[in-house]
Structures are given as structure tokens and as C-alpha cells.
Structure 1
Amino acid sequence: MDFDAYERELWAGRASAYERGFARLTAYLVRPLLDAAGVADGTRTLDVGTGPGIVSAEAVRRGAKVSSIDADPGMAETARRNVPEADVRVAVLPDVPFPDGTFEAVAGNFVINHVADPGDVLGRLRRVLRPGGRLALSCWAMPGTGALGVVREALDRAEVPWPDDMPVQPFVEHGQPVPFRRLVAGAGFGHVAVKEVTWEHVVDPDEWWELGALARIGSNGVVVGRQDAATVARIKAAYDEVMAGYPRRDGGVALPAHALLAGGAA
């Protein structure tokens, strides 16, 4: 299976679980992302990979004129419901269904790591920006650890092999500051800066398991979902051991998160 086809299958029907789980993790970067894109009152803004519309909602709150795209119809429908002020469309990157120079700002929160050809996508995003317009993108730092990696660590502890038929994420080689900056600059953006961002995400361990692994969110969740009941129970026991190694905070477990935020000008 090619990576784009895999991604469409991966996210189909996951909008509700994603909104209640991982979207709360990624929400931490929404305001820094929009700051990096220069989004303010009246800014014509494109939110790429909108998911449940959290970036779009904050952009609208700032007074921006917002268009949003997502590859998954369920995600797009959720965003329309959450942000009725935005023009939300279904579009599978690298397709960006707008004329050249439409936007003053383009923002993508954890979407560039979900495409088969990141360089091609960046070129398409640059096309829809006006000269001098701002791009801001976030991605996970690689390899994924903490909040992003607890289920994968549990799979490893439970000695569950990674399926041979699951494609490798093409973006993985760009998940550090220098290669991420090189990728964005190579697409023709100027004044590119990449910074590392870390934060703590406090979760209820059982809810994080339910809304991630059992809901088949992400590749780790897909692997869990392929197992029989006895193996799932073994993975869950390993997961509980992994979670026990993190500090308790505010009635939950504090998981570290580590991401990259890139900004550049068209």
C-alpha cells in the first residue's frame, strides 16, 4: 500500500476519537503556530490539515478570514460544525484547491508529517501564498517519544513485531531542526527559522489508551487493533508499566511532548 492510500485508511472514521484525544495534545502549538504565520485581524489564512478545526477556530477568534482543508471528510465535517465561519473543503494534499496568491498566511499543525512528498506539498503551499506571505508548520520531533511514543514503547516491551506491510513515514528523515529547515528552504521559502518546542501533556492513562490505541489512532493504534485479545491484554500491561515511569500531575500522568515549529516567507 502506498503512503497516501495508507493515510486515508488510517484516518477514516477517526474524527471523534481524535478530537477527544490527540487533538488536545496538538492544541498546545496552535497559538505559536499562528503567531509564526503572522495571523491577525483581517489576515487571509489557509489552515492545512484542519482536523477538528482548532487552528481555524483560533484564527477566526483573531479576526482572520479563514479557509481550511482536510483530506478526511469526517474531519472536515467536524471542522465545519466547530468553526462555521470558516470555508472548509475536503482536499488531499498535494492538491491545494485555490488560485495562486490567494492567502497572506498558511498554517499547518502536524500535517506535513502525514504526506507522501513533503517537498511537493511545500511547493504547492508556496503557490497559494502572496509574495511576502508567511508559512508556519509544526511537526513531531523524531524519533517520537513521551506522549507520542508510549504505545510504541508498550508494543516493543510486549515484543509485538511491526507489520511488514505498513509503509514507513516519508517525513521521518526531516524530523530534526536542521533537516526540517533545509526542507522548507528548499521549497523556495526565505527567512526560514525552526525552533524546538517542549511541553507536558497531562492525561488519564486509561483514557489515553482508549482514545489512542483502542481507537486505532495513528500507526501504533493500528498495530494494536490487529492483535488478538490476549496480545492486546499483554500490550496494555506493558503500557501500564510505561505509564508508571512518568510523574503524576494534576490527577493524571504528565507526558513530555517534543515538536518542531518552522516559519518562513514566500
Structure 2
Amino acid sequence: MNELVIMHDQQAVTTSLKVAEVFGKRHDHILRDISNLRKDIPNFGEMFLEGTEPDSYGRNRKMFYMNRDGFTLLAMGFTGQKAMSFKLKYIEAFNAMERQLVAKQDSYMIADPIERAKRWIEEQKALKETQKQLEIAKPKVLFADSVSSSETTILIGVLAKIIKQNGIEYLTVEGKPKPMGQNNFFKWLRENGYLISRKGDSWNTPTQKAMDMGLFEVKESTTLNPDGSVRITKTTKVTGKGQQYFINKLLGENAA
């Protein structure tokens, strides 16, 4: 139930992927329900924003961000005692996130001109000091970020974003420096023996070495095909230990 609500474009939102996970529903069914709402809601765009998120193979898949109003409309049809419990937790998560937003109100949102000027000066001083400390202690910040991100398993594509946000702009792929991104990160993992490079059903799944090191987890899910057959999907996720390992390893390579 971690991170039910996140910040996106300075707004408290959740995602269709998280709703599907928490309520135990198929994501394509959630997308279908959102699509049905689009037909009936004139201000659909104020509550739902289409986006993409990489799957375990680094391929972008369609998803939606939604604010509290969008979630409320979507979740109206979810029934049962368990569903009600999840709805209440979501509402509290939205409330908590919005309380944080109010507490961290930016200077430009303060009506009183004198108080606004004071807050702006304080913000600029804090920003300069933060930037100074980040430059001095950049390796420590990188390590701290890796620790905080290790609280749960994450997708490989998400880890690539975290690594780039933490200052690692390039990695060596095919003997050359390439921009950090999910596709090049997948290549790097295959080249360095962490993911299987052989094309087939096991492509981009962890090698035995990586599994023995505890760097990945593989989660299986079943999907019912229209013809009645069952398709098994394997999703590779990076463990907390793996997040720390790869960030520190890439930090060392970039420092060399």
C-alpha cells in the first residue's frame, strides 16, 4: 500500500496501474472503465491525464494519472468490504499529500506582498545552500537516494530514471559512453551478465548469477486470452539490494 498517492505536476494523483494493483483488478479493465468515463464526463481532462510507464521489458505501456475527483468517480463501482477499506486509505492518502502541499506553499502563492517577499528571500537562500551542499556531498546524496528507493521492488525502467536523476548521465554500452535511459540500461544489464541476452521467452529475465546475488525478483501473473487459453507474464523487478548495488556500481564507473 506504499505510495498510493504521488506528486505529479504539482498535484496529488494516483495512477491506473496502482489502482489495479491495490484493488486486485486487471489493468486493461481499469483502462476500459476510464475510457467509459471519458464518454460521460465533459471535464474528463481535468481529472485524468494519459501517460506511459515502462513494463519489465522497457516497453512503454499506456496508463492514466488521476486526481482525487477522478479516482472517486472510478472507484464508485468497486464494491465489497475490502474495496471500501482501500477507498478509505486512498482518501486519507490524498488528504495527507494535500496537507503537505499546503505546508510547503510556495512564495508566489502568498497573498500578502511583504510576507511573499520574505518567503521568496528565504526560498532563494535555502535553494543556494542546498545546491552548494549537493555539490560537496554528491556521492553521499547518491547513496542516500539509493537507500530510500530500496524500500520496495521497482521496475528496471524506473531504476534507470532514478539513476539519471541522481546525476549519472552516461554508461558504457558496446564499449562506448551512451546516454543513461531505460533502453541503454537494459543493454548494459545484458552485456554485464545481469539479464539474459539470448532471444526467446527468457530474454531480459535475470541470469542465475543475478538471482543468486539477490538483485532481482521475478513476479508471474496470468492473463486469460480471448480463446480461453492462459498466458503467463513474467515481470522482472529490482530488489532493494539491487537498487543499492547498481547505483553504487555505476557511481564507481563514472568516478573512474
- What TM-score range do you get, normalising by the shorter chain? under 0.3
Larger Rg over CA atoms: 2
Bigger RCO of structures 1 and 2 (CA < 8 A, at least 6 apart): 1
